[in-house]
A and B are shown apart, each in its own frame.
Chain A
């Protein structure tokens, strides 16, 4: 399976909104992806993070130092905050959303501490999600497939078919990709 080598492919979404599961699904479909093992699998992401530089890739994106040209033709994960700093290019993005309270629950679990300003945090991340989605829709060098983590778990086949159609690739690996969706990982259900 090959992707277009003139395109930068990105999996994105708010942190803790299913970006790792999307990367797993892509790997399950033999779709080219790029990640390292700088952040090991743990109780928060038992199947791994599928990130570059332990997720801190967004630092170099913000600083304008990330070599996008060297990462064409493969999916990488850049979480939502970093997307605002994408230089002009040619991008295809799969952007996932998730019930915001589940996102916040998962963040609290990962940090190991209850958020004393949860309602403010909620509004801030909702705001970030909104402006990033607007940014994606406004840019003419980006095309995006918006998915929803909760809906993928409910209807994996339909959602993964949308991703396959978005990428314009064969559906021969559809069932392999569907099998990746693992309801046992859905621990922060609301």
Chain B
């Protein structure tokens, strides 16, 4: 996580202490320099997977085709 990022780009999210302790152990001997950077990495991975799943079901090409159809039907400008 970049240290140049200003503090107002972050939020405090309560996480059970037991999980934090497990993460501390897990990141020992890794490149993660904090619990926060590990959690951020994991969440980014999860969210990225969700986006990939959505893209597989409804791609940008699908969206363009739907929008074209909706314009023809008078639902979109």
Chain A residues within 8 Å of B, Cβ to Cβ: 15-16, 39, 54-56, 58-59, 79, 81, 107, 110-111, 117, 120-121, 123-125, 127-128, 130-131
Contact = CB atoms under 8 A, between A and B. Distances in A.
B62 A81 contact: no
B77 interface: yes
A119 B76 CA distance: 22
Interface in B29-77: 54, 57-59, 61-63, 65-67, 69-70, 72-77
10 contacts: A15-B70, A15-B73, A39-B74, A55-B75, A79-B75, A107-B69, A124-B58, A124-B62, A128-B62, A128-B63
A133 to B, nearest CB: 11
A107 B76 CA distance: 14
Given A58-B76, A123-B62, A130 B57 contact: yes
B62 A107 contact: no
A117 B75 contact: no
Interface of B: 54, 57-59, 61-63, 65-67, 69-70, 72-77
Given A130-B58, A131-B54, A131-B58, A124 B75 contact: no
A127 B69 contact: no
A128 B65 CA distance: 11
Contacts of A123: 62
Contacts of B66: 81, 124-125, 128
